[in-house]
Amino acid sequence: MLNRVRSAVAHLVSSGGAPPPRPKSPDLPNTASAPPAAAPEAPRSPPGKAGSGSAAPARAVEARASFSRPTFLQLSPGGLRRADDHAGRAVQSPPDTGRRLPWSTGYAEVINAGKSRHNEDQACCEVVYVEGRRSVAGVPREPSRGQGLCFYYWGLFDGHAGGGAAEMASRLLHRHIREQLKDLVEILQDPSPPPLCLPSTPRTPGSADPSHLLGPQSCWSSQKEVTHESLVVGAIENAFQLMDEQMARERRGHQVEGGCCALVVVYLLGKVYVANAGDSRAIIVRNGEIIPMSREFTPETERQRLQLLGFLKPELLGSEFTHLEFPRRVLPKELGQRTLYRDQNMTGWAYKKIELEDLRFPLVCGEGKKARVMATIGVTRGLGDHNLKVCNSTLPIKPFLSCFPEVRVYDLTQYEHCPDDVLVLGTDGLWDVTTDCEVAATVDRVLSAYEPNDHSRYTALAQALVLGARGTPRDRGWRLPNNKLGSGDDISVFIIPLGGPGSYS
């Protein structure tokens, strides 16, 4: 059990417990509807091996899914083989020829140094059109493109224990966001405060009158202020949960193995929404200043949430784990002595008498990149991981994992941006060996070497960051210029310009 190490991710547990059941999302169409100017969604890059029919065995289907790369890379079969080469670790970017990514976005990726069979990262960049579902007055109407909304979407998905969850999320999460925004199309375009309730179908004759369920009115003397921004945040949060629920339903028939961290950016109506569930990271580099746009969710950063759930629901721990944390494993010969500990309420440490239950393995153990939940998984939020169990045990880990992201909002209209102001998205393969300050220095160094109107500058920046984190092969490994080990993980980077070509109005 102690040697089971898998970076992973998945599920919500707020206030100690699984989330309440949610209505199933509507059936998602096969393609995202978009106005003529929007980039249509295309299938993923095919595997290097062609000619497989629909009757291929499940094992072949799984191999193809895990070997797919983002469509916008436009990789040929030969390019896919090079992208899957652990020895060469060639950096992949969209070709200079052809259609640019929205906002002249830069992208680069590289496969791991042998950590997993294939690159388990996935990426998505789309322009998505949203048609309203109903009018605010509740009167059904025919969809009209003139009354819809467009949002720009970027997503990085860092898979673990297989690439199926990351591949599925990269195809479908933005569609769940679109579905959640359909009820908000007219509301978001109306400057007045959002309505408290959306009308539903009239009650049938004889149905119960719910008015008797209303409590005393004194506590409802005023209505909470709800902003349009908070509605978009809620739509993104719901989309993450619906995506996770879909993975749970389809995990067997569609080879949705493992789980994934998810870092998503949505640009809508002048604001950038950054949603993070996992240990990927987003920062804005603006005029040399670093603005964090996410935080990592690990066993250390969410220790108290995890311990609270273990305290409230000890059955989730079985007879193998304790919700308490100790500086090191307690030994049987120390029974009756006093040792340092901390529980779900504590940020500091105190002493307690060692009891028999304290000999169990701590729910949260280790530190830094070696911190684990139930000695198994190193991330506490993300999508998937529905089959993840403690090694040599039937204890599921999913109840401790949250699918809900933290969403941070950045208003582009409040600042004057120059072409060198960028939003950097990266999976943990970048941040494991690179600090925010080093990224900002690379941003300044690379972009200053290009003309402001050169669209290739952002791809060059993404490539420089990936190369800098990967290092060069020597001494039986990948080394950085300071001779420290480079990142042996998959590395994926988006560079989104905030003040380059284009208008954000």
Residue at token pair 């140094």: 113
23: confidence class by pLDDT, cuts 50, 70, 90: very low
In a domain, 24, yes or no: no
Residue at token pair 């190193």: 378
Backbone angles phi, psi at 360, to 5 degrees: -70, 165
Residue/partner pairs of 72-80 with CB below 8 Å, 24 or more apart: 72/101, 72/107, 72/123, 72/125, 73/45, 73/107, 73/109, 74/45, 74/98, 75/45, 77/46, 77/47, 77/48, 77/49, 77/50, 78/48, 80/45, 80/46, 80/47, 80/48
250: domain CATH number is: 3.60.40.10
User: For residue 287, what are the contacts with CB-CB under 8 A and spacing of at least 6?
Assistant: 418, 420, 421
Between CA 295 and CA 452 the distance in angstroms is 30
If asked whether residues 250 and 324 sit together in one domain, one would say no
How many domains is the chain partitioned into structurally? 2
| pLDDT value, residue 373 | 96
209: confidence class by pLDDT, cuts 50, 70, 90: low
Between CA 67 and CA 185 the distance in angstroms is 37
Residue 255 has pLDDT above 90, yes or no: no
In a domain, 1, yes or no: no
If asked whether residues 285 and 317 sit together in one domain, one would say no
If asked whether residues 313 and 289 sit together in one domain, one would say no
DSSP one-letter string for 84-146: T-TTT---B---SSSPPPGGG-EEEEE--SSSSSS--EEEEEEEEEE--SS-TT-------GG
User: For residue 238, what are the contacts with CB-CB under 8 A and spacing of at least 6?
Assistant: 22, 176, 180
42: confidence class by pLDDT, cuts 50, 70, 90: very low
If asked whether residues 290 and 306 sit together in one domain, one would say no
If asked whether residues 160 and 262 sit together in one domain, one would say yes
If asked whether residues 276 and 408 sit together in one domain, one would say yes
| pLDDT value, residue 147 | 77
Structure tokens given for 101:
């990514």
Backbone angles phi, psi at 281, to 5 degrees: -145, 150
If asked whether residues 323 and 459 sit together in one domain, one would say no
In tens, the pLDDT along 216-226 reads 555 555 678 89
pTM beyond 0.95, yes or no: no
Between CA 316 and CA 298 the distance in angstroms is 19
If asked whether residues 89 and 119 sit together in one domain, one would say yes
In a domain, 222, yes or no: no
| pLDDT value, residue 504 | 45
281: confidence class by pLDDT, cuts 50, 70, 90: very high
Bridge partners (DSSP) of residue 267 are 152, 272
> Residue 186, SS3?
helix
- State the average pLDDT over residues 221-250: 92
Give the domain range for residue 86: 71-132+148-190+227-297+403-497
Residue 56 has pLDDT above 70, yes or no: no
Give me Rg for the CA atoms of the chain.
24
Cβ atoms 25, 119 nearer than 8 A: no
In tens, the pLDDT along 109-167 reads 999 999 999 999 999 999 999 998 755 444 554 444 457 999 999 999 999 998 999 99
In a domain, 143, yes or no: no
Between CA 176 and CA 36 the distance in angstroms is 21
